[in-house]
Amino acid sequence: MKTLQELTRPNIWKLKPYSSARDEYKGIAASVFLDANENPYNTPNNRYPDPLQWDLKKALGKLKGVAPENIFLGNGSDEAIDLMFRAFCEPCRDNVVAIEPTYGMYQVCAEINEVEYRKVLLDEHFHLSVDKLLEAADGHTKLVFLCSPNNPTGNDLDPAEIERLLLNFDGLVVLDEAYNDFSDAPSFLKRLDEFPNLVVLQTFSKAWGCAAIRLGMAFASADIIGILTKIKYPYNVNQLTQQQAMEMLHRYYEIERWVDMLKEERNRMEKEFARLPCVKKVFPSNANFFLVKVTDAVKIYNYLVGEGIIVRNRHTVTLCGNCLRITVGTKMENETLLEALRKYGV
């Protein structure tokens, strides 16, 4: 691996971050706060939130088996993805490599930041080739993006291959585990100490049932987390979000129950879909959604819209011709979809 200084944009490496009032005061307990130009009325929302979300990181770290210094929290995983570009990729000079097809935000962030985005096709079973990823990389490749289970294909990537990439790529590997809760494959979080170039992304938006609060997590070495923390907006995670996340941590048993139900429903839906005349192939999934190849994706998508049911049309995505991506819902929602498709015919 290159040194972190070699990987970081020189302006970011040199940057002295903005220091907020709440950053500078870290002393003993005080009761009079006249340092941040806040309004003394309308408690508790009159106060700026903890810029480093320390209580939340400690509680989350306990659950995840990670030290708080190894955690970055952002306004969705999307913030962490964007900050990876802004921290490490020099516009118009550096590049990133990613599997294709995958989550669309990596490419959008690359384009916003004017960073070349190199796509490496998965094979027809949606398996990755580490050799091809490494071939696509050069001296200016700062990041490789992997997503496991992958969106929109639903499959886990081979952990042995992920490990081979981590050992052989000299930049950072961003492994997006947004859907890992739904997979039986162990998270790479447990192996953070083994791989100094690993950045694991997770989110409150899927298994945690908290898409509305916008909270994403990045896990990496304390040095990498330090760089992301240095360039984030000072109060990037608002107080209401921090509170709701804390509450969810106390109700973790519910998340486990939801995940079990959704996995069971996913398996049932995959079997039911295989029996539908308009379905040509069901791709095996380790996530809370699955991809299906149908007779005519555009026609079926429009038919379902007419029935008041929205699925994701992935027809125009590489390797996903005539494919729909189906999110697993409640048993009743799933039945409504199945009934509509039975009625549709071929």
Ligand X SMILES: *Cc1c(COP(=O)(O)O)cnc(C)c1O
Nearer to ligand X by Cβ, of 8 and 203: the residue is 203
Rounded to a whole number of angstroms, the minimum distance from the CB of residue 46 to ligand X is: 28
Nearer to ligand X by Cβ, of 49 and 76: the residue is 76
CA distance 167 to 165: 5
114: left (phi over 0), alpha (psi -120 to 50) or beta: left
Rounded to a whole number of angstroms, the minimum distance from the CB of residue 104 to ligand X is: 9
Nearer to ligand X by Cβ, of 215 and 278: the residue is 215
Q: What six digits make up the tokens of 178?
A: 């947004």
Nearer to ligand X by Cβ, of 82 and 90: the residue is 82
Nearer to ligand X by Cβ, of 95 and 203: the residue is 203
Here the contacts of 100-103 (C-beta below 8 Å, separation 24 or greater) are: 100/318, 100/319, 101/150, 101/152, 101/153, 101/314, 101/317, 101/318, 101/319, 101/320, 102/145, 102/147, 102/150, 102/151, 103/147, 103/150, 103/151, 103/176, 103/178
Tell me the residue number closest to ligand X, measured at CB.
76
Nearer to ligand X by Cβ, of 210 and 341: the residue is 210
Rounded to a whole number of angstroms, the minimum distance from the CB of residue 176 to ligand X is: 5
Q: What six digits make up the tokens of 126?
A: 């949606």
Rounded to a whole number of angstroms, the minimum distance from the CB of residue 106 to ligand X is: 9
CA distance 217 to 77: 6
Residue numbers at the binding site for ligand X (CB under 6 A): 76-78, 103, 147, 151, 176, 178, 203, 205-206, 211, 216
Q: What is the amino acid identity at position 139?
A: G
Omega cis (within 30) before 284: no
Rounded to a whole number of angstroms, the minimum distance from the CB of residue 222 to ligand X is: 22
Q: Which of 277-303 are b and which e, b meaning 16 or more Cβ less than 10 Å from the residue's Cβ?
A: ebbeebbebbbbbbbbbbeebeebbeb
Rounded to a whole number of angstroms, the minimum distance from the CB of residue 77 to ligand X is: 4
